[in-house]
């Protein structure tokens, strides 16, 4: 086997164990905060039991340090073929969803790029919820890869 552990870092991104019943914004992920920067970012969502509502998962980024958030444009978003970004009570518990982030048109695709405003580029996952009373459980982590400095933190 090859060393894989030292090539990525993981940060909490969404969910704290409570039922998600309303739109929830995940933690801001700064791709430059660890390892001198990272050239890859992927969010992994672990769906638990969803009893009602429609949960639409999206990635948002901010180029002004977290003041203004915008949905990531399609050319900068990766999802596995056939994967839906919608979670409902028909979604089986233990379903895993992946969302890759490829950069921002206003900044570029390098993780250590500086935004035009001089602020950091931040990325978060958002669960936009409609018609939920009891909601559902899910959690997400951000996986930062291709670190500039090894081993990854």
- Rounded CA-CA distance 149/8 in Å is 10
For the entire predicted model, the pTM comes to 0.90
User: Which pLDDT value is given to residue 17?
Assistant: 77
Q: Measured between alpha carbons, how far is residue 63 from residues 39, 85, 113, 142 in Å? A: 17, 23, 10, 18
* CATH numbers and ranges of domains, the chain: 8-146 (2.60.120)
What is the pLDDT tens value at each position of the chain, 153 positions in all?
Answer: 999 999 999 999 998 878 899 999 999 999 888 888 888 999 999 999 999 999 999 999 998 888 899 999 899 999 999 999 999 999 999 999 999 999 877 765 554 555 555 557 899 999 999 999 999 999 999 999 999 999 999
């Amino acid at each position: 086997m090859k060393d894989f552990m030292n090539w990525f870092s993981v940060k909490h991104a969404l969910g704290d164990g409570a039922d998600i019943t309303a739109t929830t914004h995940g933690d801001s992920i700064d791709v430059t905060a660890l390892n001198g920067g990272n050239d890859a970012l992927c969010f992994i969502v672990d769906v638990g039991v969803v009893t009602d509502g429609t949960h639409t998962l999206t990635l948002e980024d901010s180029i002004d340090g977290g003041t203004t958030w915008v949905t990531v444009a399609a050319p900068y978003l990766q999802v596995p073929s056939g994967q839906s970004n919608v979670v409902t009570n028909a979604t089986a518990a233990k379903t895993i969803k992946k969302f890759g982030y490829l950069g921002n048109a206003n900044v570029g695709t390098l993780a250590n790029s500086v935004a035009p405003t001089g602020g950091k580029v931040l990325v978060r996952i958002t669960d936009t919820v409609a018609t939920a009373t009891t909601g559902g459980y899910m959690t997400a982590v951000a996986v930062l890869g291709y670190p500039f400095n090894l081993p990854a933190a």
